[in-house]
Amino acid sequence: MVVSWNRFQQLSSNPAAAAADGSVVAVWENSVESTSTDNLIITDVYQDRDFLDLSSLYQLQPVLPKSKAKSIAVVTSSYIYDYCMEPSGTRASLNKRSYADKHGYAFVARSREFAQQALRPDQRRTVWGKIDVIQKVLPKYDWVFWLDMDAVVMNSAQTIEALLQRLEINDSTHFVIVRPGTDKMINAGVFLIRNTAWSFQFLQEIQNQSEWYRQGPSYEQGAMWDVMRREGFIQHTKFLDRENHLFNTFPKFYQQDDFIVHFAPDKCPNSATLKGLAAADSIKKGHAVTSQDLL
């Protein structure tokens, strides 16, 4: 819990005003940018780094420079649990980092948000760390391109800017996601989200879906699917229904020049991801790859 001293001094002499002020207590939304100096108490802060950032905001009021250039971040998980995703986890991160470096994007790999799920009273499943990460990183960029650890960039020539243009993304679209093949719901392993007020409302509404905290196998994906289809959210979503090649795909649907392949088997995806990384390396060397090479 973090308490703003200045705000405390203002309200401590008038408890009735404090009780009537709805901005007094706020739940931490995983980024300093989501807080306000009107907040007296911020709850659910777990990380030392977050405490330091909040202390800086409330006590020093720093003014930080912000570039006017559009910015994109490629974001993924670096959290290895049960030793399942090694050695593919490290190699998959390098695959994404190489792609980001090639096009001048930021690359962000986070693990603490996944680890902190076990510290929560509700002990959400580890995969929920993804939503915490997006809330933390999104305020710093115009777009965040999320890729699960077992997603592999196959066509590194594809840029996000060209993809957004091809998808005819306008100012009213803030979220891009696919329901591939014959799946019942979206694939939350790969998506684009824009830094807007709509997106932060969307993310927080996902966080509020407690019925999905431990409900497998979908977890945060199920929550995202439910919220996305609601009035006020679906209108601002680019929903690529049954689209298997433009954005991301599964191994069995892969065709030459497809952008991202998401390896999401029922069991540990380590071996499948390694096979995909080997195929991505072959493509860079000019070799042809088919879906059979990924199965």
| Residues paired with residue 249 on neighbouring β-strands, in sequence order | 261
On whether the CB atoms of residues 74 and 107 are closer than 8 A, the answer is: yes
Contacts with 57 (C-beta within 8 Å, 6 or more apart), sequence order: 32, 35, 37
Residue 251, in any domain of the structure: yes
Residue 120, in any domain of the structure: yes
Structural domains in the chain (count)? 1
Question: What is the pLDDT at residue 82?
Answer: 73
What is the distance of C-alpha 197 from the center of its chain? 16
CA–CA gap between residue 135 and residue 128 (Å, rounded): 12
On whether the CB atoms of residues 156 and 162 are closer than 8 A, the answer is: no
Task: Please list the pLDDT of the chain residue by residue as tens digits (295 residues).
Answer: 444 555 555 555 565 555 555 556 677 788 877 777 666 677 777 677 777 777 777 664 444 555 555 699 999 999 987 778 888 989 999 999 999 999 999 999 999 999 999 999 998 999 999 999 999 999 999 999 999 999 999 999 999 999 999 999 999 999 999 998 778 899 999 999 999 999 999 999 999 999 999 998 999 999 999 999 999 999 999 999 988 898 999 999 999 999 999 998 778 889 999 999 999 999 999 999 999 999 8
Residue 22, in any domain of the structure: no
Q: Dihedral, CA atoms, 126, 132, 136, 141, nearest 10 degrees? A: 100
Q: Which helix (H) or strand (E) segment is 58 a member of?
A: helix 48-60
For 151, the domain range is 72-293
Nearest to 260 by CA among 153, 177, 179: 153
Nearest to 28 by CA among 156, 173, 132: 132
Question: What is the pLDDT at residue 43?
Answer: 74
Question: What is the pLDDT at residue 40?
Answer: 62
Residue 222, in any domain of the structure: yes
Q: Which helix (H) or strand (E) segment is 41 a member of?
A: strand 41-43
C-alpha R_g of the chain = 20
Which structure tokens are listed for 173?
């679209």
Question: What is the pLDDT at residue 44?
Answer: 73
Residue 166, in any domain of the structure: yes
Question: What is the pLDDT at residue 289?
Answer: 93
Residue 5, in any domain of the structure: no
Residue 219, in any domain of the structure: yes
Residue whose structure tokens are 């431990």:
214
On whether the CB atoms of residues 169 and 162 are closer than 8 A, the answer is: no
Residue 34, in any domain of the structure: no
Is residue 77 classed as helix, strand or coil in its secondary structure?
Answer: strand
On whether the CB atoms of residues 187 and 262 are closer than 8 A, the answer is: yes
User: pTM to 2 decimals?
Assistant: 0.80
Query: What is the CATH classification number for the domain harbouring 94?
Result: 3.90.550.10
CA–CA gap between residue 206 and residue 284 (Å, rounded): 38
Nearest to 244 by CA among 263, 222, 221, 260: 260
